[in-house]
Amino acid sequence: MKMTQRFPSRRHALALTLAAALGAAPFGSALAADAYPSKPIKVIVPFAPGGPTDIMGRYVAKVIGDALKQTVIVENRAGAGGNLGTDAVAKSAPDGYTLGIGAISSLAIAPGLYEKLPYNAAKDFAPITLVGIAKGAILAHPSAPFNDLKGMLAYAKANPGKLNYASSGIGTANHLAGEYLQSLAGVDLQHVPYKGTAAAVQDLLAGNVLLSVESSLTSAAQHVTSGKLKAIAITSATRSKMLPNVPTVAEQGFPGFDVPTWFGLIAPAGTPKEVVATLNRVITDALKSPDAAERFAQIGAEPHPTTPDQFGAYIREETARWTKVIKSANIKPE
């Protein structure tokens, strides 16, 4: 009996030794994925609470928590245009327990804008899925002597360098939308950067600037509806459900013009593929629901589920696109 007891033990030990020698990584990864998640997950939002990025981050956190039956904590780590929180994701352990909301600013604009970033946007992240795309608009004060894009550009050409437009800061998506339009239309607009959307809209409402390019219609749509502002054009490829009667830039003479503000879920590079696949399945299933469409519509956005590979390709395409615009317009960070 003693020999019978010892023999399975030795056999088991030998099997483990052979498995280790042969590199049974897939087996170990599968076990890790089966156990995931075994502790709370953290989602880093690289902007302050209350904005579209934060709203999407909290939605994603709830979906993950509900589906995987685990506590998910949202941590707002704002600063440096989203780069601070994004860097924190890059430097976290690649185990699936620290995730982040990656945005156009930190993943696609920052690489072309900053000579030195604390992270490599192309190498330091494992894309999980694109989450949502928000539509923006060119807005004008009611006193502006134009009501559409054609009139705006005609006024700009007749008054070179005199038409100002506000944005939420240098290097933001709405700033680049203005620069991109200038390059296509051959006009000279003066950029006035503000520290955030709220300050830009406030000065527009006061008439201190005649134009503003907004990357989200969350707060601006109500001012258009009330007549306090005029909507000149939607800056994404299709019209916004929040302002369905406002034509796009593309419809008004610039086919292909599309400057959305997008957000996606990322993890540190090296996160197990099985974990990435689990998170992708959970999030994309939720994004296809009517509930997601309704929630995102409240902030002027639409759900956009993708595969990890599709999201990675999208980031690369957007980075190349905006780096070209930044270099062409000679945009420098603050």
DSSP string, 229-272: SEEEEE-SSS--SSSTTSPBTGGGT-TT----EEEEEEEETT--
Total domains in the fold of the chain: 2
Q: Per mean pLDDT, which range of 56-70, 225-239, 290-304 is the poorest?
A: 290-304
pLDDT of residue 108: 95
243, 249 in Cβ contact below 8 A?
no
In a domain, 27, yes or no: no
Distance of CA 163 to the CA centre of its chain: 29
b/e 123-160 (16+ beta carbons within 10 angstroms → b):
ebbbbbbbbbbbbbbbbbbeebebebbeebbebbeeee
Domain match, 94 and 162 both = no
Measured between alpha carbons, how far is 257 from 238 in angstroms, rounded to an integer?
10
Read off the tokens for 71: 């506590």
In a domain, 9, yes or no: no
Q: Count CB neighbours of 319 within 10 A.
A: 19
250 CB-near residues (< 8 Å, 6+ apart):
237, 256, 257, 258
Domain match, 196 and 278 both = no
Tell me the pLDDT tens digit for each residue of 244-254. Answer: 999 999 999 99
Q: What percent of the chain has pLDDT over 90?
A: 67
How high does pLDDT run on average in the chain?
A: 87
pLDDT (average), residues 115-121: 93
Domain match, 274 and 127 both = yes
In a domain, 94, yes or no: yes
In a 3-state reduction of DSSP, which class is residue 310?
A: helix
Domain match, 247 and 325 both = no
Q: Return the higher-pLDDT residue of 317 and 3.
A: 317
Res. 34 pLDDT band, cuts 50 70 90:
low
For 275, the domain range is 40-135+261-329
Domain match, 141 and 248 both = yes
In a domain, 6, yes or no: no
Domain match, 204 and 156 both = yes
Point out the domain boundary residue: 234, 252, 270: 252
Domain match, 81 and 117 both = yes
7, 38 in Cβ contact below 8 A?
no
Tell me, what amino acid is at 255? P
pLDDT of residue 104: 93
Tell me the pLDDT tens digit for each residue of 292-302. Answer: 999 898 888 89
Domain match, 163 and 121 both = no
CATH assignment at residue 54: 3.40.190.150
Q: Which of 53, 212, 81, 191 is nearest to 136 (CA)?
A: 212
pLDDT of residue 27: 39
Measured between alpha carbons, how far is 1 from 235 in angstroms, rounded to an integer?
79
pLDDT of residue 334: 67
Domain match, 233 and 299 both = no
CATH assignment at residue 145: 3.40.190.10
Question: Would you tell me the crossing angle of helices 308-329 and 273-287 to the nearest 10 degrees?
Answer: 80
Tell me the pLDDT tens digit for each residue of 261-280. Answer: 899 999 999 999 999 999 99
* Beta strands at 211-214 and 164-167: parallel, antiparallel or unpaired: parallel
Is residue 67's pLDDT more than 60? yes
Q: Alpha helices, DSSP H only, in the chain?
A: 2-22, 25-35, 52-68, 83-90, 104, 110-113, 149-158, 173-185, 197-206, 220-225, 273-287, 290-297, 308-329
Tell me the pLDDT tens digit for each residue of 202-231. Answer: 999 999 999 999 887 877 888 999 999 999
Domain match, 126 and 268 both = yes
Measured between alpha carbons, how far is 169 from 79 in angstroms, rounded to an integer?
13
In degrees to the nearest 10, what's the CA dihedral of 255, 182, 131, 101? 170
Q: Count CB neighbours of 170 within 10 A.
A: 16
Domain match, 220 and 274 both = no
pLDDT of residue 24: 41
pLDDT of residue 170: 82
